[in-house]
Amino acid sequence: MMEHINSHLMAAYARQPVSFVRGSGARLWDEQGVEYLDAMAGVAVTSLGHAHPEIAAVIAEQARMLLHTSNIFRIDWQERLGERLCALTGMQQVFFCNSGAEANEAALKLARLHGQRQGISVPKILVMENGFHGRTLATLSATGNPAKQRGFEPLMPGFIRVPYNDIHAVCQMLDTVPDIVAILIEPVQGEGGIRPASVEYLQELRAVCDEHECLLMMDEIQAGMGRTGAWFGHQHACIVPDVITLAKALGNGFPIGACLARGMAADLFSPGQHGSTFGGNPLACRVAYTVLDIMIRDQLPQRAATLGARLLAGLQQALRHHPDVRAIRGQGLMLGIELDRPCQALVWKALVQERLLITVTRERTIRLLPPLVCSEAQIDDIVARIARLLHTFAEAAPTKLHKVALGG
């Protein structure tokens, strides 16, 4: 692998020195023709795998017909995609944009409009510790990660933070802090270390939001689109939110985001209050519609549940006696392996030693997000490569005596 340095790129990313030039399904090839197994799917984006032939054909055909007209005019593919997404989610209205952060921006604006409609001049939104909602100033302010916020102060006011999966903390805030108009939550915290919310917690959130006339806003950007074994992560709890945000796997790599709403949240926007130049263009919406076609036809949410159970069982068996593994958790094909010390270096070691793509979040958790189209053999291969990788990680660990000394 050769390292190419382009001095014209801002240093916003700590890039690995490998460049991929071709992909197929869950496999990738670099400039030297070396093959890799993808266990991160572009961070939960390419759920249908790389270079899906139907997606490629649709992109080529639509590009020859029409790319962009603007939202000044009707867009047929946008209306068709909106109808399908509402049928899958139980929502009533959709706003299309280009990314997850934009979808969450739309949701936050809906929350403020909801507050204004109730006569609340300074509405507040309840968010969760360790949550992640984006990197714009508003979504960064909603995010519960000081490391990502550092340097961008002052943050936007109006966000109240409570522990995740703690309904008592939510109820206490709602009872004591005035003017809370919405709760924004991920059904599975992705950047927060792959932490699923309990079914009971989500059901109780729905109940307290109804009681307090708050909007329940579900950030499904990483957990949605079949990844957890249901179409959307909150559906494991058999609840319906007021607002849902989507992106990532919705376009299988083509940029598109969506903010969906129902009930009192569905009619809050009026013309001129929100917009997006590129959002909902014919190409993006036709690609996303095709993604849904394929996922429905191939029953990919159900496949994610089956493959996720296989991956979890394999990891539990392979790592059951590993001295550095604290926990293995997740839902469907959204799994995390929490270790007892920082492990960011494993991203590079996995590339070099195992030809495996992984990510590390919250410094200590290996995050696995394989494509939903993986074969059983590829799932087993991921387990084998992770086991070998963590075997070398254990060998490189300091001795227990040294660990005690380091702890004082």
Q: Is 219 a catalytic residue?
A: yes
Active-site residue, from 95, 96, 248, 269 = 248
Give the separation between CA 322 and CA 355, rounded to whole angstroms. Answer: 22
Q: Which of 106, 51, 24, 75 is nearest to 289 (CA)?
A: 75
Type of residue numbered 358: I
Cα–Cα distance for residue pair 254/257, rounded to 1 Å: 10
Residues pairing with 310 in the sheet: none
Q: What is the distance between the alpha carbons of residues 286 and 289, in angstroms, rounded to a whole number?
A: 5
Residue in 124, 159, 219, 254 annotated catalytic: 219
Q: Which helix (H) or strand (E) segment is 371 a member of?
A: none
Q: How far is Cα 101 from Cα 257, in angstroms, rounded to an integer?
A: 8
Instruction: Report long-range pairs for 12-19 (Cβ below 8 Å, ≥24 apart).
Output: 16/347, 16/348, 16/351, 18/351
Establish whether 152 is a catalytic residue: no
The three-point CA angle 214-216-218 to 5° equals 160
Q: Tokens 């390419």 correspond to what residue?
A: 46
Please give the Cα distance from 395 to 203 (Å, whole number): 44
Q: Which long-range contacts does 149-156 make (Cβ < 8 Å, 24+ apart)?
A: none
Active-site residue among 96, 132, 254, 269? 132
- Give the CA distances from residue 394 to residues 340, 346, 386, 387, in Å, rounded to whole numbers and listed in that order: 11, 12, 12, 10
Cα distance between residue 143 and residue 132, in whole Å: 5
Q: What are residue 93's DSSP bridge partners?
A: 261
Backbone angles phi, psi at 258, to 5 degrees: -150, 140
**Number of residues that this document lists for the chain:** 408
Q: Which residue has the tokens 């490629």?
A: 56
- Residues with active-site annotation: 132, 219, 248
